[in-house]
A and B are shown apart, each in its own frame.
Chain A
Amino acid sequence: MKRVGALALQGDFREHLAVVRRLGADGIEVRTPEDLEGLDALIIPGGESTTIGRLANIYGLIDPLRSRITEGLPVLGTCAGMIFLASATVRYEQPQLGVLDVVVERNAFGRQVDSFEADLAVAGMPKPVRAVFIRAPWIHKVGAEVDVLASVTDQESGEERPVFVRQERILATSFHPELTDDTRIHELLLEVS
């Protein structure tokens, strides 16, 4: 049985673990560096990226996470998780792992009244994903090694903004696949692990 951890400092890690358990994997809450041992894949959940980053920093998780992911541990980051994986953030300074070569923009769609759900076309998936964007980030700049799997159109500039990317075994979404019954994105994580 595959062992999938979810960073359990804050956020909706239980929803992620419920999905991986439904897919037949073992779901493990990760709060300390020791909890990372023996994992086949890791999820960094939705939550508040400032809170997760700060707690990861004081409890000594940044370096162990960074080295495990760099060594090839497959990881899925959703919303706050995407921000935490990225190399930099537009406007804000906060603890980040810098393992995913993108610059993210936080709260890119606006405040909560601008949060929305929509059918999103994803590369390699014949049917769209019902994507839930909650005070969501998008990707402002992508590195050369990063594949864009889905994007939305910025209403102001007309430019395409990535909301689902992959860099080798790192997957990151602006939206929350853990809040719907569609398990395809979690299945993708299990496939690369």
Chain B
Amino acid sequence: MNTSSSERGTDLVKRGLAEMLKGGVIMDVVSAEQAHIAEEAGAVAVMALERVPADIRAHGGVARMADPTIVEEIVNAVSIPVMAKSRIGHFVEAQVLEALGVDYIDESEVLTPVDDNHIDKWNFTVPFVCGAKDLGEALRRIGEGAAMIRTKGEPGTGNVIEAVKHMRMMNKQIRRLTVLDDNELMAAAKELRAPYTLVREIAETGKLPVVNFAAGGIATPADAALMMQLGCDGVFVGSGIFKSGDPAVRARAVVEATTFYQDAGKIAKVSRNLGEAMVGINIDTLSPEERMQDRGL
């Protein structure tokens, strides 16, 4: 033996996979064929689903974990990591997804929550990503064991406004912590409704202890670059790719815009002739029940 003290599922191993996804695009797919298109286009991972968020929205009713057949088909189709969504609080769906060999579980507000409590994610070997609209929400999820965070945005709308708001709020709240006096941190933790030890850590480091991606409403290469310039580590694209006119071309363009997010010339080049973008929804027209971001706070 050349190795000793071997450990699986440590913080380093769970958070480390998210580190490897940085600067990349994670795409929602509903079939092996779409997963191939995503991999060919340069996606760093795929999210295996039964329906993309726009269709979940249109379909209504209770949205649950995908059929294991679809998840397995996608796991076997690609060499890149595969993520899948469980309902908020549904730890048995998470156990099933772990048993199927998915590489990351998204405990997601896109599906219908089953509990006011989130999953105790420390109990799993597989890592979790969770959505957050602000710093308090992010730190509560990290406190529960999330190894990666993403903005919630408003999924399935093709409208990036909410993701922008969430990222700005997160940045503002992190900046604020770094200028507080140590004596003020407990009150700040109370206000954020976040674990004190994590609040203290952010005050010292000025950044989240895990990777933070953009998600929710990203539909164009410029949307992806916008989120990267706002400080996200990478991008999830849900309905934006496979609900558009030419998914393969749009997928490649979003990947390139995410790498060259500071180069407007390159973003202009990849944004040409992409065909029809997904039809968007104005957030104001959604009723409170239709707002997925308000689930699982």
Contacts and interface: CB of A to CB of B under 8 A. Distances in A.
Nearest to B125: A113
A48 interface: yes
A55 B25 CA distance: 13
A120 B19 CA distance: 22
A115 B8 contact: yes
Contacts of A147: none
Nearest to A129: B3
B3 A135 contact: no
B10 interface: yes
A8 B22 CA distance: 10
B21 interface: yes
Interface residues of A, number: 46
A117 interface: yes
B69 interface: no
B1 interface: yes
Interface stretch (B96-104, B154-162, B283-291): B96-104
Given A10-B259, A112-B103, A113-B126, A48 B20 contact: yes
B104 A112 contact: yes
B103 A152 contact: no
Given A11-B20, A48-B44, A50-B39, A116 B13 contact: yes
Interface in B28-61: 39, 42-45
B6 A116 contact: yes
Contacts, number: 127
Contact of A113 (B42, B45, B101, B256): B101
Interface residues of B, number: 41
29 contacts: A9-B23, A10-B22, A10-B44, A11-B23, A12-B19, A47-B20, A48-B24, A48-B80, A48-B81, A50-B39, A50-B79, A51-B42, A54-B255, A55-B255, A55-B256, A58-B256, A80-B20, A106-B79, A112-B103, A112-B104, A112-B127, A113-B101, A117-B7, A117-B12, A118-B5, A121-B2, A134-B16, A135-B81, A176-B16
Interface of B: 1-10, 12-13, 16-17, 19-24, 39, 42-45, 75, 79-81, 98, 101-104, 125-127, 255-256, 259-260
Interface of A: 8-15, 31, 46-48, 50-51, 54-55, 58, 79-80, 92, 106-107, 111-121, 128, 131-132, 134-135, 150-153, 160, 176, 179-180
